[in-house]
Amino acid sequence: MSSIAQRWEKKVLRSDGLVRLAALVAATTACLGSGTNYAYSAWAPQFSERLRITSAQSNLLGIAGNIGQALSAIPIGLFIDSTGARLAAMIGGVTIAIGYNLIYSAYMQGPEFMGFWMIWCMYFLTGIGSFSTFSAAIKITALNWPHRTGAATSLPLSAFGLSAFVFTTLSMLFQTSRSQILLFIAVGAPFLILVSSPFFLKAKSELPDTAAGQVYTALEGTEIDGEAEAESSIECSFDRTTENHPEGTVSSERLLLTDSTVLKEFSQELDISIHTLVSTVNFWLLFMIFGLYTGIGSMTINNIGYDATMLWRKDKSEISQPALETQLLFHVSIISIMSFCGRLISGASSDLFSVVFLVAQLYAMWCSNPRLLWILSVLTGLAYGLLYGVYPALVTDAFGLKQLSRNYGIISLAPILWSGIFNLNYGRIIDLNSSTIPNGDKKCMQGLHCYTEAYRYTLVATAGGLGLIIWCVRRNNSMQWARRLR
């Protein structure tokens, strides 16, 4: 496939414009196959029942994909930055194929085929493949569209969010069982990635090299001491002068004082060390906010199937098992399509995600009618899409394009803690409210009361995240005013 792509590039793609367009289409197609971890709720309840695992274990399995994405983020980012995006995408397709095919085999063969922790490792592997493909797609897109990074990356970002919708919709159209949706994913996701990844091509034209000099001149003599916090003594900080930095290297504090127009051009050339990165206040603000809100969103995304199942059990009307399974696919599809919309419009509405998350938690605590649960899916998908849509651009603007995969990879470690806390807490609460039925299984029959407490925790976390965002905005505004007064 690689040789075919190279010959096609030489004979047909003579202009850089066509190369960029081909790579953008390939990146978007690959992301359609790499976002399948968000379809977990579509098959998790039946999978858990067949393999006889508890709600807590199911939530532990659900975050395996998130943990795989997060723990692999830094090495994958370094790998992509050093070797390129194409190989990373291919590796992602192979790992996704291995993971899902073994999970599908476990479902078909039953509890005796594979132990819980082996299944967990396979889902962890799909998370690695997902992030590898996604990060490669974002990298090649950002390289090809340096002056339109936000708009260009919104396409693969949106496709990543749309992935679960594509596979669950196919499953509904063909009226398949849960084993078939796993088969769709196990075959279809790697196919999309492996077919498109050879066309991860980089345009031959280079970035203009004038930006660094412009910013160096603009910044000369304006750096704040990296060890001193800007908010502690802003006016005094501006009176200090430090030695010049080499071209293309600058501290994060210095960036906050830069004119936004110049910084946008300079961010393409910026190269910040890991030590400088993790020593800045901005990094930890971005890290904490991202971790909190991804954890909050993943709890609903991984458990919307359980929400729907428990509300329907409490509802007085009868619902057949096939109808219930269709409901689960419906909710996953809504979350996916709204995540797609959120990622697509994130550039214009990125500041809304915290408010939408807040409304979603309040609604989840109130909604006891399973027929109205779709509103929770809409709110959660939209908020999650807005969050993920804006973050690559935020990381690029703050820390530059040159080490984007590495820097975004470090930021992507944030969900490990909070996703684990919120998801495991949800499973713990469900198990506490469940009772043993005659066949020995544990089920919760209390409807909304089964999981309300879990959303109380996420509501408090959402309010905390909103407080961090407000503090971040006030801090940056204070530094901008200080720069103008200087």
**Beta-bridge partners for 442:** 436
384 occurs within a structural domain: yes
Phi, psi dihedral angles at 443 (to 5 degrees) = -140, 150
For residue 15, what are the CA distances in angstroms to 12, 18, 22, 122? 9, 6, 11, 42
On whether residue 250 sits in a domain, the answer given is no
Burial class (CB in 10 A: 0-12, 13-18, 19+), 11: exposed
> Alpha carbon 99 to chain centroid distance?
19
Q: Do 249 and 271 touch, CB atoms closer than 8 A?
A: yes
Q: How far apart are CA 473 and CA 476, in angstroms?
A: 5
Instruction: Identify whether 388 is part of a domain.
Output: yes
The residue assigned the tokens 């929770």 is 376
DSSP 189-237: HHHHHHHHGGG----SPPPPS-HHHHHHHHHTT-PPPTTS-GGGSHHHH
Digitized pLDDT (tens) for each residue of the chain, 486 residues in all: 556 656 655 554 456 678 888 888 999 999 999 988 888 888 888 888 888 888 888 889 988 988 898 888 888 888 888 888 899 999 999 999 999 999 999 988 888 888 899 999 999 999 999 989 998 998 888 888 777 766 777 788 778 878 888 888 887 777 655 567 888 889 999 999 999 988 888 877 554 433 333 333 333 333 334 333 333 332 322 233 333 344 444 333 333 333 334 334 444 455 566 777 777 888 888 889 999 999 999 999 989 988 988 898 887 667 777 777 788 888 988 998 898 888 777 765 556 888 999 999 999 999 999 999 999 999 999 999 888 878 877 787 777 766 776 787 788 888 888 988 999 999 889 888 888 776 666 778 888 899 999 999 999 999 999 988 888 777 766 666 555 555
Residue 88 lies in a domain: yes
Model pLDDT, residue 347:
61
Q: Report which DSSP code applies to 316.
A: S
Whole-number Å distance between alpha carbons of 91 and 162: 21
Q: Which residue has the tokens 């995408």?
A: 89
Instruction: Tell which residue, 127, 31, 35, 122, has the closest CA to residue 85.
Output: 31
Quote the pLDDT of residue 194: 94
Domains of the chain: total: 1
Confidence at residue 163, expressed as pLDDT on a 0 to 100 scale: 87
With 0-12 / 13-18 / 19 or more C-beta atoms within 10 angstroms meaning exposed / middle / buried, residue 279 is middle
pLDDT at 231: 35
CA separation for the pair 357, 460 (Å, rounded): 11
CA–CA separation, 145 vs 152, rounded Å? 7
pLDDT at 296: 94
* β-bridge pairing 442-443 and 435-436: antiparallel
Instruction: Please indicate, yes or no, if residue 72 is contained in any of the structural domains.
Output: yes
Inside any domain, residue 237: no
DSSP for 301-313 reads HHHHHHHHHHHHH
Residue 97 sits in a domain whose CATH number is: 1.20.1250.20
pLDDT, position 456: 94
In a domain, 485, yes or no: no
The candidate with the shortest Cα–Cα distance to 374, out of 383, 364, 365, 359, is 364
CA-CA distance, 438 to 417, in Å (whole number)? 37
- pLDDT on residue 3: 66
Q: Residue 341 belongs to what domain range?
A: 7-200+281-476
| 389 in any annotated domain | yes
